[in-house]
A and B are shown apart, each in its own frame.
Chain A
Amino acid sequence: MKILVADDSRVMRQIVIRTLRQAGYDDHDIVEAEDGRDAYDKVHAENPDLVLSDWNMPNMTGLECLQALRSAGSAVPFGFVTSEGSAEMRDKASAAGALFLIAKPFTEETFRENLDGVIA
């Protein structure tokens, strides 16, 4: 299984990847993207099984990336990992087709709760 981790912060990508490992998802291929545009391109180039994306990023936000992917016909499972977990943002995420929204700060338990069933 291949997971695409999109965040403009390299440190946060490291933390997300580390948390995935700690949550027990340690035998998957990880691809990194540094903003929404890069994530969009890499979904087409790498064909991941899941996208874990930050919301607030330069060039293209995570939400714009998801909307662009859906407009282009991609049904790749997509979840947000973001520092903003308000009801308003959860609604927007869900309306755009996201499976879940994990708010930062998160724990390995939060990852398990949201990813069990999504990651085989």
Chain B
Amino acid sequence: MTLAPDAPGRLAIPALIDEATVESIAGEAWIALVGEDEVLVPVPGDLPEDTLSAWVDVVGPWTGSVVLTTGRQTAAELTRALLGDAAPELLDHEDVADAFGEIANVVGGNVKAALPGPSTLGLPEVGAAPTVRNPEDVCRIEVLWRGQPLVVSVQGALPSLPVPHTPHQHPHQNGASQ
């Protein structure tokens, strides 16, 4: 997947990354961070009512968020898996925010690397998922982890795409010679 150098305007995410790439990025993050046997199964499932999201913002030629959403219980289970032996008996919200946020950070960092740059990555945030602004600027995958549904959404932050305009990249040579 390449970005045409003379592409007018801003491209929406489906032109920049596909579901298979996002799935592979998430799958690798899971195996490395959560555990070698922790596969993500590409099967959609219904998210429970009580969900938690973790995301990082990407700002650059494409601007948006990489958002992970799962059930609150599953987020807690993920935290235990990440902490391993270091997991406390009782998890508090800070532990879950830290662990789930860090997974979003790793997935987001790798998504950012697959997008045209230069761009910057924000610090992870945890809470209710940011609203989808433009349904056409979303790349979304649904997977199951330990049988529980999880959604990864790479979604644009702008309300709408600007109308493509004709390129005007002809810098004037206005007498700069010495």
Stretch at the interface among B26-34, B41-49, B150-158, B160-168: B26-34
User: 1/0 per position for B79-94, CB-CB distance to A under 8 A?
Assistant: 1001110100000000
Given contacts A11-B98, A11-B102, contact A83 B31 (CB under 8 A): no
Q: Are A88 and B82 in contact (CB under 8 A)?
A: no
Main secondary structure of the interface of B (DSSP, over half): helix
Q: Are B109 and A83 in contact (CB under 8 A)?
A: yes
Given contacts A11-B102, A12-B102, A104-B106, contact A83 B121 (CB under 8 A): yes
- Using a Cβ–Cβ cut-off of 8 Å, how many residues does chain A contribute to the interface with B? 22
Interface residues of B toward A: which range? 20 to 34
Q: Are A8 and B86 in contact (CB under 8 A)?
A: no
Given contacts A8-B123, A88-B117, contact A18 B102 (CB under 8 A): no
Q: How far is the CB of A31 from chain B (nearest CB, A)?
A: 17
Set B98, B99, B113: member contacting A86, Cβ < 8 A: B113
Q: Are A106 and B113 in contact (CB under 8 A)?
A: no
Q: Are B112 and A84 in contact (CB under 8 A)?
A: yes
Main secondary structure of the interface of A (DSSP, over half): loop
Please name all residues of chain B whose beta carbon is closer than 8 Å to the beta carbon of A14 when the two chains form the complex: 82-84, 86
Q: Are A105 and B123 in contact (CB under 8 A)?
A: no
Task: Let me know if B118 is at the binding interface, CB within 8 A.
Answer: yes
CA A104 – CA B84 in complex, angstroms?
18
Most buried by B among A9, A10, A105: A105
Binding site for B on A (CB under 8 A): 8-12, 14-15, 18, 56-58, 82-86, 88, 103-107
Q: Sorted from nearest, which 4 A-B pairs have the closest CB atoms?
A: A105-B32, A83-B109, A84-B109, A11-B99
